[in-house]
Structure 1
Amino acid sequence: MIAVIDYGMGNLRSVEKALATLGAEVVVSGDPELVKRAAGVVLPGVGAFGDAMDHLQQLGLDAAIRDVAAAGTPLLGICLGMQLLFSSSEEHGLHQGLNLIPGQVKQFQGDFKIPHIGWNDLTLHRESLLLQGVENGDYVYWVHSLFVEPADRSVVLATTGYYGEVPGIVGRGNVWGIQFHPEKSSRVGLQLLSNFVKLVREGATA
């Protein structure tokens, strides 16, 4: 069973539907105990980093997510959910994250369109089971105003170019993050989610 975490911020139903279409047993829940019992966990998210962390803490889900990661359970963060995996964010002040992947979340700075919205291609940087069936140059759909800057660049699995190199997929042990929206990214997005479902079934790591 894959638990999609419900903490009041996120496009839960589209993620749930995409996973169910791929044959996964999916439960949307904000119950920390159910989350800890799941075979795989997805942390979605849309909105502000600080608000999201407040909601997770109020529900006891921050501790549950850390327990899931420590137990070796496959964990996937999507969009804001990926950013929450990192140590901190500078969005509207400094906020502490889950610190499962060391690094910071930073705001785009420059005279260009923010947020970054639309289809951009991926550049793959290293092999991962999460990337099976995904190729260099594949296009995916992005909507974000911030980007992650990992302390260790080896966690970056794929990037895109948007006035600089932007991490799009990260992986560290049993924890992965996807900055773009796989549920809106057609074949490539479904391939990534299908790979995660397979990782859950096999208990594999990055």
Structure 2
Amino acid sequence: MSQSSNAKVTILDYGMCNLFNVVRAFEHCGADVQVTEDPRQALSAERLVVPGVGAFKDSIREVTERGFGDAIKDFVGTQRPLFGICVGMQILFDASEEFGEHAGLGILPGRVKAIPALTVDGAAQRVPHIGWNHLQAPVGRSWQGSLLAPFDGQSPAVYFVHSFAAAPERDEDRLADCHYGGHRICAAVQRGNVMATQFHPERSGDGGLNIVRQFLRM
């Protein structure tokens, strides 16, 4: 069942996005959705969503060449809500090590690094990390008032598909982690109006839709 909402959301189309599912999730939650290829419309958005799939280097190239890089950085300065999803989260950081060294947008300090191919016990583990995993709040971090407020005190399961993950420089930017092979992996970040998830809320069932609804309230 859809939910009524007056929230207007602009979703970037830079050619590297799983737009159909993302748009459908926001529309299901009652958002007034606009998909744009125009950086000017991105900058004037009420709420901005930066989705992404595939490799970091391809995504950041398309974002930059299409003029979205400056628009995203300028939008952050407006203090209006921004939501990055998957690679859309990764490009917010300083750099990625995927297929070489590639600069990101530098909105959040940190690097995107490969998920370890071995567990902490030295056993081989599957990479990419695909499937459902549980979110955990970092020690001392509350989800009250955040993108994950609907789950404060809980450990919801969400859906991941990735081989690389962000390693934030500032622990206070980490909103949620998951554990894979015993390794702590950053699953979500939030600093002020900048929110992002490594997992796909649009593929995470009712829990993911609750995250979308929470963003519409931010």
What is the alpha-carbon distance in structure 2 between the residues aligned to residue 191 and residue 137 of structure 1?
Answer: 14
Q: Of 10, 14, 19, which residue of structure 2 is paired with 1:12?
A: 19
Q: Of 17, 34, 47, which residue of structure 2 is paired with 1:40?
A: 47
Return the letter of the residue paired with 2:156: D
Report the equivalent of 1:31. 38
What is the alpha-carbon distance in structure 1 between the residues aligned to residue 59 and residue 155 of structure 2?
Answer: 32
Q: TM-score, structure 1 length as denominator?
A: 0.94
What is the alpha-carbon distance in structure 2 between the residues aligned to residue 137 and residue 176 of structure 1?
Answer: 19
What is the alpha-carbon distance in structure 2 between the residues aligned to residue 159 and residue 140 of structure 1?
Answer: 11
1:75-97 Cα deviation digits (max 9, x unpaired): 11000100011110000000000
RMSD of aligned Cα (Å):
1.0
Q: Of 195, 210, 213, which residue of structure 2 is paired with 1:176?
A: 195
Q: Find out whether 1:192 has 2:211 as its counterpart.
A: yes
SS at 1:119 equivalent:
strand
Quote the offset at 1:159 in angstroms.
0.7
SS at 1:23 equivalent:
coil
Q: TM-score, structure 2 length as denominator?
A: 0.89
- Gaps in structure 2 of 5+ consecutive residues: 1-7, 118-123
Return the letter of the residue paired with 1:141: Y
Q: Of 100, 105, 109, which residue of structure 2 is paired with 1:102?
A: 109
Report the equivalent of 1:77. 84
Please say which of residues 27-36 and 133-142 is displaced more in the overlay: 133-142
What is the alpha-carbon distance in structure 2 between the residues aligned to residue 87 and residue 30 of structure 1?
Answer: 24
Q: Find out whether 1:119 has 2:132 as its counterpart.
A: yes
Percent of counterpart pairs with the same letter? Answer: 41
Quote the offset at 1:13 in angstroms.
1.4
- Gaps in structure 1 of 5+ consecutive residues: 200-206
Quote the offset at 1:180 in angstroms.
0.4
Q: Of 164, 182, 185, which residue of structure 2 is paired with 1:166?
A: 185
Return the letter of the residue paired with 1:157: L
CA contact (8 A) 1:102 1:152 kept: yes
1:161-180 Cα deviation digits (max 9, x unpaired): 00201111100111011000
What is the alpha-carbon distance in structure 1 between the residues aligned to residue 62 and residue 158 of structure 2?
Answer: 29
CA contact (8 A) 2:146 2:190 kept: no
SS at 2:175 equivalent:
strand
What is the alpha-carbon distance in structure 1 between the residues aligned to residue 151 and residue 106 of structure 2?
Answer: 28
SS at 2:216 equivalent:
helix
Report the equivalent of 2:59. 52
Report the equivalent of 1:203. none
Return the letter of the residue paired with 2:58: D
What is the alpha-carbon distance in structure 1 between the residues aligned to residue 52 and residue 10 of structure 2?
Answer: 14
Report the equivalent of 1:87. 94
SS at 1:105 equivalent:
strand
Q: Find out whether 1:139 has 2:139 as its counterpart.
A: no
